[in-house]
Amino acid sequence: MTDRFRTAILGLGLMGGSLAYALRGFKDGIIVGYDPDEATQKAALKAGAVDAIAFLPEEAVKKADLVLFCSAPSGIFANMPRCFPHLKPGAVVSEICGVKGEMLRFVQQHLPSHARYVGLHPMAGKEIGGFANAEGALFQGAGFILVPPEPHDESALALLRALSAYVGAGRVVVNDAAAHDLLIGYSSDLMHIAATALVEEYPCGLSLAHTAGAFRDCTRVARIDAKLWRELLLGNAESITPHLDALAARLAAFSAALKAGDGAFIESFLSRANENRLRIDKL
C-alpha cells in the first residue's frame, strides 16, 4: 500500500469532499482525508470518499504524492505551515482557493524547496456547503484554472492537468496569479457582490408572484456563506474594486439616462450588453 500513489485532501467540505469522490481511483492510488470536524471524518469514511482519515493535518500529508488544501482560505493558511515540514521530496502541493496572488506569495514563502506547487481553481460550487452536499459529479464540464508559479515544474503542472481531466473538467486554462485574480474578480466575485446587493433591500409588498426567472437567476448566488466570502472578497479586494467601481458608475449613468428620458443611450447600452453576452458564450 505504501507504494501506491497517495493523494491527501485537507478539508472535506463541499469542494474537498467532492474532489475526494471524483478522485477515487486516480492513478490507481489511495486518498487520505483530513477534516477537523469529527462527524465529517466519519461520514467521509463511511461514504467511501476517502480510504483513510488522518487525525492531524500533518499526518495526512506524510508520504503523500499530491496534497490538496481544500478548506476555506483561513484554514489553508493555517494548515500549510503545519504541513509543509512533513512533505516528502517531490510532493506536489495544490489548493482550491479562489484568490491566488496572496496564496502564491504565502506558498513561495513557506514551501520547502523539495516540494512543488501549482494552484488550482475549479469553477464549480453550490449555494450550500459541507460534506453532505459533496458529489463526484460536481466538476463535470466545469472550467478549471491552473495557476502555476513562474518558473514552474512541468511535471507538477501535468499532474494537475491529469487531475482536472480525471474529475471531468470542461475547459482548462492556465493563468498567472494576477490574471486569475483579475478575471475571477469579474466572473465570480463581482457577480456574487451584485447578487447580494440586489437583495440587500427589497420593496414592501413584494411577493413571489412578482418574481420570475430574472429575479430568481440574478439573485440565486445571494444565498451565500458570509464568512467564507468575506475571506475571499477581502483577499481579492484589489482586483475586485476596479470592476465594482465601474459597475456602480455604469448603473449611475443608466439612472441618469432614465431620468433624462435618453432612449438612445438606453437602447445602445442594452444592445451592447446583449452582444457581449452572446460573445462571451463563444470565448
Site for its own copies in 210-229 (CB under 8 A): 210-215, 217-227, 229
Identify whether the C-beta of residue 127 lies closer than 8 Å to the C-beta of residue 224: yes
Q: CA 251 to CA 257: how far, in whole Å?
A: 10
Q: How far is the CB of 64 from its own copies (least distance, A)?
A: 27
Q: CA 198 to CA 220: how far, in whole Å?
A: 10
Burial class (CB in 10 A: 0-12, 13-18, 19+), 267: exposed
> Residue 17, Cβ neighbours under 10 Å: how many?
30
Q: Which is nearer to its own copies, 160 or 190 (CB)?
A: 190
Cross-strand bridge partners of residue 92:
66, 116
- List binders of its own copies among 220-279 (CB under 8 A): 220-227, 229-230, 233-234, 237, 240-241, 243-248, 250-252, 254-255, 258-259, 261, 263, 266-274, 276-278
The verdict on 280 binding its own copies (CB under 8 A) reads: yes
Q: How far is the CB of 84 from its own copies (least distance, A)?
A: 27
Identify whether the C-beta of residue 254 lies closer than 8 Å to the C-beta of residue 266: yes
Angle separating helix axes 191-199 and 237-260, nearest 10 degrees: 50
Give the residue, chosen from 52, 78, 157, 197, that forms a contact with its own copies under the rule CB under 8 A.
197
- List binders of its own copies among 135-154 (CB under 8 A): 142-145
Give the residue, chosen from 124, 134, 163, 177, that forms a contact with its own copies under the rule CB under 8 A.
124
Collapsing DSSP to helix, strand or coil, 10 comes out as: strand
The verdict on 208 binding its own copies (CB under 8 A) reads: yes
The verdict on 188 binding its own copies (CB under 8 A) reads: yes
Q: Which is nearer to its own copies, 1 or 280 (CB)?
A: 280
The verdict on 105 binding its own copies (CB under 8 A) reads: no
The size of the interface with its own copies (CB under 8 A), counted in residues, is 93
The verdict on 193 binding its own copies (CB under 8 A) reads: yes
DSSP state of 186: I
